[in-house]
Amino acid sequence: MPIAKLSENRYGKSRVRVMRVTKHDDHHDLDEWTVQILLSGDFETAHTEGDNSKILPTDTMKNTCYYVASVSKADSIEAYAKALIDYILSRNAQVTGAEVIVKSHLWKRMTIDGQPYPTAFLRGSDEMQTTRVSKTQNGAFEIASGLDGLYVLKTAQSGFVGYIKDSLTTLPETTDRLFGTVVKAEWTYTPQAIAEGLDFNKVRTHLRETMLATFARHDSLSVQQTLFAMGEDALAHTEMIDSVYLLMPNKHNLLIDLARFGEENSNHIFVPTDEPHGTIEATIVRG
């Protein structure tokens, strides 16, 4: 009797970097993507017997990323991920399901003499557009999209009071603090929205603008409260999503003691810190 058996497993290729230039008569478009492919399926004998007859090499997956990027007319990372999954599933019956994660790095067109230059670009911030697309053989697509690395900070309308204080508490209460965070957001599209079709880029832009506006305007009593308000407003903005996950680390900005230099520091000079930081995350769903 065997003492072990294979449970769930999947494999794939990670950190495939794709740069795509789409040339039009009067301008070029530039996309830079980092792609991950993960496959589930009938791979047991590869693990238990070293039989690779059902294994699609990960090097082939890498080449598939390039090929599909070349032949696809996808105008969003969601459309590209769907095309990539359909290509793999249609040619590999042993694969029962595939998940593709794409991160899009932001490039901005250069401004020269006050005008956008058609063929020159600047790398933007560390913000990335993201999507996670999955599908089983003969199944429907499941799509979650979002953003990551969006560094935001507000200098007003933020405080933190009324928390637990014990013998180890040194944090002073404040009704006027800097609130900095790096937003990671992911929203799930409803099956109906996916089936009917939607403009992923348009929805992403509107949800990003909605959550940024909430962040800026919200009278924040805590990171948690502002996070919930951002997710709540995102759900109120469109019926095409049914949940929003938000990760918002509290990137502390510490008030510098200038009294030793004979100066008063009335929330004027701070030192930004990356570590340690508070970690706040939540998923907001429709009530």
Q: Is 252 a catalytic residue?
A: yes
User: pLDDT (tens digit, 9 = 90+) per residue, 46-72?
Assistant: 999 999 999 999 999 999 999 999 999
- Same-domain status, 189 and 47: no
State yes or no: is 58 an active-site residue.
yes
pLDDT band at 254 (very low <50, low <70, confident <90, very high): confident
pTM: 0.91
CATH assignment at residue 42? 3.10.270.10
Full domain range(s) for residue 279: 141-287
Q: Which of 132, 121, 124 is nearest to 151 (CA)?
A: 124
pLDDT bin (cut points 50, 70, 90) of residue 267 is confident
pLDDT given for residue 8 in this prediction: 87
Q: Are residues 272 and 190 in the same domain?
A: yes
Q: Would residue 2 count as lying in a domain?
A: no
User: 186 and 263, same structural domain?
Assistant: yes
- Is there a single domain that holds both residue 149 and residue 230? yes
Asked, for residue 173, whether it belongs to a domain, the answer is yes
Per-residue pLDDT, 22 = 93
Same domain, 123 and 210: no
Q: Which of 104, 139, 174 is the last residue of a domain?
A: 139
Q: Structural domain tally of the chain?
A: 2
- Same structural domain for residues 145 and 287? yes
Is 22 in the active site? no
Task: Tell me: do 152 and 253 sit in the same domain.
Answer: yes
Tokens of 161: 């009071």
Residues 165 and 232 in one domain: yes
Structure tokens at 90: 């249609």
Peptide bond into 272 cis (omega under 30): no
Distance (Å, whole) CA 93 – CA 136:
11
Identify the domain boundary among 114, 139, 164: 139
Catalytic annotation, pick one of 34, 45, 54, 58: 58
Mean pLDDT for the stretch of residues 117-129: 93
Q: Please check whether residues 215 and 76 belong to one and the same domain.
A: no
More confident residue, 142 or 254: 142
Which residue in 82, 103, 105, 252 is the catalytic one?
A: 252
Name which of 256, 234, 245, 251 is nearest 283 in CA terms: 245
Give domain status of residue 1, yes or no. Answer: no
Together in a domain, 106 and 152: no
Looking at the fold, whether 183 and 118 belong to one and the same domain comes out as no
In this structure, are 135 and 155 located in the same domain? Answer: no
